[in-house]
Amino acid sequence: MPKTCFILNPKAGPSRRLDMPALIAQHFGALESDYEIRFTEYAGHAVELARTAAAEGFEVVAAVGGDGTVNEVGRGLLGTDTAMGIVPQGSGNGLARHLKVPLALPAALRQLAAPTFSRMDVGVINDHPFFCTAGLGFDAHVSQHFAQAGSRGLSTYLRVTLREYRRYQPVPVRVDLDGQVAQTNCYVLAFANASQYGNNAYIAPLADLRDGLLDVCLIDALPVGRAIKVSLGMALGNLPQSKAAEYFRVPRGRVTAQAPIGFHVDGDYLGHATEFVIDLMPMALAVAV
């Protein structure tokens, strides 16, 4: 059984009242001397905790939380041989779902006790690593407003999405996808390392974590009819066939926007910019799932 450090984000997901240490002790199936649990105390803390755990010789550092926690733990482990595990406790759990980590806590812990080791690609947008998806446009705009909404959960997310849909205007951009240049409007430009945003919303159902490429999804406008098609396509996992979005598969890209445009990394809004450099680090992270 690999020596494992659990990094627990007490603010992630809907089930914050669970007694995680007791559940880990009950289901992980390891002696208490074989694992440790450390709690994050602030946003960004998991990066430091993961880096320290790797330096201390833990073979696996498990992110207990959602995609934000996964992003921080993954960043802390880049450049080390320590593998990232995931105990899905977030709201969306996009990377965990892509990797088919069981969402039920006992099953996730049992699997982590005897994991399969592999490696995965890591995307980078303007020097910010991402493990699941990054993007510009409406999805980032919704992340920004969702973070300010005061409450979380699916109903808040849907309310914010509908409200902002009525307000949002796409931005003209020049997109260079590994040499293919296009002048277009950006309603959504998503760079997908994994297939989904979380909650089984498949923005790029064919994305492969190990192909050395990012699946790029471009939506240049979103009138109501197309918005319905996109929503259904994401839910059913057939957005590429619906023709409501354009797809590319590239190792790198560059975007210049005519006006500042919001961007997100693994679902967290990071700010606005007019220049974006997108890259991929093949097989840069070890994973244990």
Ligand X SMILES: Nc1ncnc2c1ncn2[C@@H]1O[C@H](COP(=O)(O)OP(=O)(O)OP(=O)(O)O)[C@@H](O)[C@H]1O
135 contributes a contact to ligand X by CB under 6 A: no
Binding residue for ligand X (CB under 6 A) from 91, 144, 161, 196? 91
139 contributes a contact to ligand X by CB under 6 A: no
Residue 48 or 211: the one with the smaller Cβ distance to ligand X is 48
What does the alpha-carbon distance between residue 9 and residue 63 come to, in Å, rounded to a whole number? 8
Binding residue for ligand X (CB under 6 A) from 65, 129, 233, 262? 65
Place of tokens 């951009």: 173
Nearest distance, CB of residue 184 and ligand X, angstroms: 29
Binding residue for ligand X (CB under 6 A) from 74, 85, 92, 253? 92
Q: In the numeric block, which tokens belong to residue 224? A: 């109501």
Binding mask 252-271 for ligand X (x = CB under 6 A): ---------------xx---
Which of the 8 DSSP states describes residue 208? -
112 contributes a contact to ligand X by CB under 6 A: no
Nearest distance, CB of residue 104 and ligand X, angstroms: 16
Contacts of 60 (CB under 8 A, 6+ apart): 2, 3, 4, 5, 82, 83, 84, 85, 112, 115, 288
Q: What is the DSSP string of 25-36?
A: HHHS-S-GGGEE
56 contributes a contact to ligand X by CB under 6 A: no
Burial class (CB in 10 A: 0-12, 13-18, 19+), 38: middle
Nearest distance, CB of residue 75 and ligand X, angstroms: 11
Minimal CB distance to ligand X: which residue?
66
Helix (H) or strand (E) holding 64, with range, is strand 60-65
Q: In the complex, which residues of this chain contact ligand X (CB under 6 A)?
A: 9-13, 40-45, 65-69, 72, 90-93, 198, 267-268
